[in-house]
Structure 1
Amino acid sequence: MAIYGIGQLAKLTGCKITTIRYYEEASIIPVAQRSEGNQRRYNDEHLQCLRFVRHCRSLGFNLEEVRQLIHLQDCNKHSPDEAHVIAKKHLQDVLQKINQLQLLANELQEVVKCCSEGEAQGCQTLSILNSHVDLNDSVTVVK
């Protein structure tokens, strides 16, 4: 079994050293053994776990979901279907965000289109943006 210092583990996973420490403190990855000089020593289990975490995070899973998925890998008391439920809910959240971003892109396209069709002095961008302001909405004024 290979032994890695934190710098080596960071290079192998593309994860920052501070993030590795955070994941360890937050019990996302197992606690590392310590050398006689009190340096962290990681093994292949840490490497695999950290790669799993990084992959889950790249898919947008939050840390609590990642923690649950790791637990499901190690626990025989839960149904394998629970990982599917977590992934399915995450997919629904992603699809909802995509829909919201598409609506945002459509509105911004209209704003940009209105401005580019007129003369620079008659740009309607601010007028259009103001036309969608609801006076009942709370607005924070920054001074």
Structure 2
Amino acid sequence: MRWWECGMIGGIVLSGATVANAISAILGGVRDVIWTDVFGVALTVFFMGFLCGVVAWSGKGLHQRLGAIGDALVGAAVMVAFFTCCILLFSPELLGAKFVDTGLLVLGIAVLMGAIGGVWFGHDLDNEASPPGT
């Protein structure tokens, strides 16, 4: 699988959930919709997912070299990338003045969640992405 294919998968998965939530909100009675904001959020979320997919692709060989530890490292890197994007968009002070108080905790949770998710799903995803016979 190429880097851009992994990026597209990440972008589509993440923006698909966002679009589903937006449609649900609109059908649920939200009236004053600013469509440029909806498209802006969907595009931003797509690129966040694209970045996470590329980060996952970049660590594709770590499973063969390090096994579960490699999966944990890739998962942690993906979640740190995702959380960092969220922080930059929604609460940039967590990377500045509030970094020691709160930002480190948030990124620590990202590492923990990513490591667990990487071990849990990494081996399966690696097998799906690898060509047969490898």
Mark the structure with the bigger radius of gyration: 1
Which structure is richer in relative contact order (CA contacts within 8 A, separation 6 or more)?
2
- How does the TM-score come out when normalised to structure 1? 0.29
Q: Report the TM-score when normalising by structure 2.
A: 0.30
